[in-house]
């Protein structure tokens, strides 16, 4: 092995060690909000989707890791600037802690931590290498827990949307229905759509899943945006279908359906229905795209050089 190759390998190892060291330091500094976020996502249904964010982002980056090594170029302009911004945001959460609730502080600190990770990535790889992995880098912001005041507003919107959707299903089926806010009345039953029935968990999971599938299967930015936007009304329609189905079974077949397993554990069934519909729409949009072109010669050379 030539001396130049050995020197190149030594430099690469030193650079990798510096990159890993910076990541380790950021985790040591931000371990408290990171741990609180994972505990929150494990214990609270509204934040379950957070458990998917880090593994999905890591897989996307690792798939292109060898290719990124060929494009890697140190950057001490943009990366350090983003690190400074992240530090300033984290300090602001500490400085204004008296006027911020605990969930708001957590959201700000996690936002700063994710921003710091992106800054470290930019320092090590440079802006050019970050372009192919822009999606997984931005996807990391899904780790930021939504503050309670904003989450409550989203849940309220989902409640009203679910009530409207269920009302539409009853009307289409010819069932007399009276709607008052989040309350529906049909012959033999009055339905109150509580916060727990808003489907916030399955809605967030559907949006996250759609983001990943759209990134894998679609090339056009507007098609990706369209399918992601459609995930929200589709999730609302799915919840309306669930309310309609349980109510009809409870009033026409057996009252036990109103409190049985379909009510408490049947969410996965209707989630799969919505996911299948979303995938069908995605495949329909994909048919209108041109075939994915092969990588340019320069990219192939870079990949082969990195292997």
Q: How far apart are CA 203 and CA 232, in angstroms?
A: 7
What is the reported pLDDT for 140?
A: 93
The 3-state secondary structure of 217-233 reads HCCCHHHHHHHHHHHHH
What is the reported pLDDT for 287?
A: 82
What is the reported pLDDT for 75?
A: 72
What is the reported pLDDT for 45?
A: 80
Tokens for 299, please give them. 């990219």
Q: How far apart are CA 158 and CA 111, in angstroms?
A: 25
Domain ranges of the chain: 3-145, 150-287
CB 151 within 8 A of CB 159: no
What is the reported pLDDT for 296?
A: 44
CB 66 within 8 A of CB 306: yes
What is the reported pLDDT for 297?
A: 38
Angle between helices 148-172 and 200-217 (to 10 degrees): 90
Mean pLDDT by 10 residues, the chain (307 residues): 50 69 87 92 87 91 80 78 91 82 90 92 83 89 91 88 91 89 87 78 87 88 88 90 89 82 77 89 81 45 41
This prediction's pTM: 0.79
Residue among 95, 117, 119 nearest 30 (CA): 117
């Amino acid at each position: 092995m030539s001396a130049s190759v050995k020197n190149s390998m030594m430099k690469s190892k030193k650079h990798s060690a510096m990159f890993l060291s910076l990541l380790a330091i950021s985790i040591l500094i931000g371990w408290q909000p990171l741990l609180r976020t994972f505990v929150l996502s494990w214990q609270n249904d509204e934040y379950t989707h957070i458990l998917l964010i880090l593994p999905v982002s890591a897989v996307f980056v690792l798939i292109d890791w060898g290719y990124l090594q060929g494009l890697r170029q140190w950057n001490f302009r943009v990366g350090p600037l983003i690190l400074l911004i992240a530090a300033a945001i984290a300090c602001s959460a500490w400085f204004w802690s008296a006027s911020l609730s605990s969930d708001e502080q957590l959201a700000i600190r996690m936002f700063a931590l994710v921003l710091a990770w992106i800054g470290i990535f930019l320092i090590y790889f440079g802006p050019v290498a970050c372009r192919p992995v822009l999606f997984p880098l931005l996807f990391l912001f899904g780790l930021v827990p939504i503050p309670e005041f904003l989450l409550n507003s989203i849940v309220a919107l989902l409640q009203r949307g679910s009530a409207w959707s269920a009302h539409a299903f009853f009307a289409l089926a010819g069932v007399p229905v009276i709607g008052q806010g989040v309350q529906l009345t049909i012959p033999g039953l009055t339905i109150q759509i509580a916060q727990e029935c808003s489907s916030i968990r399955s809605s967030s999971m559907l949006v996250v899943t759609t983001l990943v599938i759209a990134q894998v299967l679609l090339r056009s930015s507007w098609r990706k945006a369209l399918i992601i936007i459609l995930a929200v009304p589709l999730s609302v329609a799915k919840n309306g279908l669930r309310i309609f189905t349980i109510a009809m079974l409870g009033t026409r077949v057996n009252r036990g359906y109103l409190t049985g397993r379909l009510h408490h554990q049947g969410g996965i069934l209707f989630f799969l229905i919505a996911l299948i519909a979303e995938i069908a729409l995605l495949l329909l949009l994909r048919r209108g795209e041109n075939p994915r072109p092969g990588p340019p010669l320069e990219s192939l050379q870079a990949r082969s050089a990195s292997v």
